[in-house]
């Protein structure tokens, strides 16, 4: 079992450094996606409930700590110089050349402006980010990174 924890620890630490690299390159940040932390806590609670973590060892503690750190880092997303940085365990970045269409939805929020941006790729996958800026600022920043060849559709929830 300790060999399994060593393998998972190495994989998670490698993924953490990969995510930190892309997080450091974000120029235009989206809102933090707290669902990544919530899902990690749910998985850990299920693991504790099913007694997978009954024998506390150093390797298991490192695994739990790196898993939680990975979920916190994974919640950070935005627009970097070369790629779109998204929240996801299996796909962390999307090349700008793969993005075919962007849909922006202005969400009514009396406290602060909120815009949901749905980035659709050429192979019909969709990634969404939330921004806490006015829709005109979001459009200007997306145009700066994607250029004018990608269509942007603006919708409203009203």
* CA angle (109 as vertex; 135, 136 as ends), nearest 5: 10
Give dist(CA 118, CA 94) in Å, integer.
13
Give dist(CA 33, CA 21) in Å, integer.
18
**Can you tell me which residue has the tokens 């998985």?**
43
Q: Among residues of the chain, what percentage have pLDDT more than 70? A: 98
Specify the pLDDT at position 158: 63
| Tens-digit pLDDT profile for residues 44-94 | 999 889 988 777 888 888 888 999 999 999 899 999 998 999 987 777 899
CATH number of 79-156: 2.30.29.30
Domain ranges of the chain: 2-77, 79-156
Q: Mean per-residue pLDDT for 100-122?
A: 91
């Amino acid at each position: 079992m300790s060999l399994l924890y060593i393998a998972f620890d190495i994989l998670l630490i490698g993924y953490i450094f990969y995510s930190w690299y892309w997080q450091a390159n974000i120029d235009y940040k989206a809102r933090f996606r707290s669902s990544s932390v919530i899902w990690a806590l749910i998985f850990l609670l299920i693991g504790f409930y099913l007694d997978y973590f009954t024998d506390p060892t150093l390797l298991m503690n490192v695994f739990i700590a790196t898993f939680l750190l990975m979920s916190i880092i994974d919640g950070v997303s935005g627009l970097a110089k070369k790629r779109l940085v998204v929240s996801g365990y299996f796909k962390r970045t999307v090349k700008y050349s793969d993005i075919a269409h962007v849909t922006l939805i202005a969400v009514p929020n009396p406290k602060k402006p909120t815009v949901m941006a749905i980035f659709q790729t050429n192979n019909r996958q969709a990634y969404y980010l939330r921004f806490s800026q006015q829709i005109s600022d979001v459009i200007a920043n997306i145009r700066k990174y994607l250029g004018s060849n990608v269509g942007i559709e603006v919708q409203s929830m009203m």
